[in-house]
Amino acid sequence: MKIGKIKVSLLGKVVIAIAAGVLFGQFLPASIARIFVTFNSLFGNFLSFVIPLIILGLVAPAIGELGKGAGRLLLITALIAYGSTLFSGFFTYFSGSLVFPHILSVDTELAAMENPEQFMLTSYFEINMPPLMDIMTALLLSFVLGLGISNIRGTALRDFFIDFRDIINKLIESVIIPLLPLHIFGIFLNMTVSGKVVEIIAMFVKVIAVIFVLHVLLLLIQFLIAGGVSRKNPFRLLRNMLPAYATALGTQSSAATIPVTLRQTLKNGVRESIAVFTVPLCATIHLSGSTMKIVACAMAILYITGQPITLDVFAGFIMMLGVAMVAAPGVPGGAIMAALGLLQSMLGFNDMQQAQMIALYIAMDSFGTACNVTGDGAIAVVVDRIAGAEEKGER
């Protein structure tokens, strides 16, 4: 969207949508507001329909390509990236468990209701859009097909899923992402009419502050480990990656930041043969910052609605989220789209909670991307050290 000659980013659109929803909710008649609620109902049902397709179209080819020609270095890099993502998720869970009870309060009205939409406006009509399969079926099918693609000689199935992925990416980029601001506008319009918007906005501000602090701590931990493994100054390593961090803040894309990430990784003494391999790969499979945002936002939303937050549920969610992040499309807000199925199937999120997650996530999208690409530099340092040690051992 452009205003005059000024291009408005997705974050800008979301901020405008939230502000407009709160403003118009003060005076807009309920009969008019229900038009937007009806759109939300249709859009939410459409999301339910396409989420299994998104999982199948993104995860299956991602696993297939990850295993294609897989060598030892690829396996090592993938395991380190996945381990970093898991650490980020559990680090966020335990930090949130300590912090959120002190800064967030349970909304007793929301907690007492089995369905939070009970106190909100209803749509004029609904159109059921049943999905072709449930979330877990889509995940299992993606794993089976992805592993199969990586282990067969034929290319027909691989080519089909690459084309299918292109369709899904086009659907996300051209339909779902552009309509998200209108969906978020309707959600905040409805919450304003219901009188719940103040609590939600207050939660947004507190959660964003917590996640920013956790991002800084996560980067310090990643580079302390990288420095320890490589026997280099971790603070110098981190300082060299700051241009990549700043670039990602503007681009909101790990892929678009690859040239800068690669340049700064080389400045950290990583051999070019290792850097040109690990940086593009980690831009796809290492999303520790995005995982942190999703886990923290999910915990906050569950907490204010009085729903249980247990380690056994979140452990499974974090492990599956690490896999889903590998398949996240490279567009602003792509990671949260890949995670919606898990939020729905494993944490029981309804349409309103999913919309709140999307708004919270996009509000911090650039910071999560910056954390992702900066952490890629730490992984490259570790992989370079491991590869160098193996080469010396072979000699």
Both tokens of 46, joined, read 């459409």
Indicate yes or no: pTM above 0.75. Answer: no
At CA 101, angle to CA 99 and CA 106, rounded to 5?
145
- The SS3 assignment for 25 reads coil
Q: How far apart are CA 335 and CA 361, in angstroms?
A: 9
Angstrom CA distances, 15 to 8, 48, 362, stand at 10, 24, 9
Q: How far apart are CA 295 and CA 170, in angstroms?
A: 27
pLDDT of amino acid 294: 92
pLDDT of amino acid 70: 44
Question: Residue 106: CB partners within 8 Å, gap ≥ 6?
Answer: 303, 304, 305, 306
Backbone angles phi, psi at 302, to 5 degrees: -65, -35
Question: Residue 362: CB partners within 8 Å, gap ≥ 6?
Answer: 10, 11, 14, 180, 332, 333, 336
Ordered per-residue pLDDT tens for the chain, 395 residues: 544 455 666 667 777 887 888 888 888 888 888 888 888 888 878 877 887 887 788 777 876 765 554 457 777 888 898 999 999 999 999 999 999 988 887 765 554 444 445 556 777 888 888 888 876 787 778 878 887 887 788 788 888 988 998 898 888 778 887 887 888 788 778 777 766 666 677 777 888 889 889 999 999 999 999 999 988 999 999 999 988 888 887 666 676 677 788 889 999 998 887 887 788 778 777 889 889 999 999 998 888 888 888 899 899 999 988 888 776 655 556 678 778 888 888 888 887 788 778 877 877 777 888 899 999 999 999 988 988 765 555 55
Q: Are 211 and 292 in contact (CB under 8 A)?
A: yes
* Type of residue at 209: A
**Looking at the DSSP assignment, which residues form a beta bridge with residue 6?**
3
Q: How far apart are CA 305 and CA 107, in angstroms?
A: 6
Question: Beta-strand (E) ranges in 127-199?
Answer: none
Q: How far apart are CA 126 and CA 351, in angstroms?
A: 14
- The SS3 assignment for 159 reads helix
Q: Are 56 and 138 in contact (CB under 8 A)?
A: yes
The half-sphere exposure of 113 on its side-chain side, counting CA atoms within 13 A, is 13
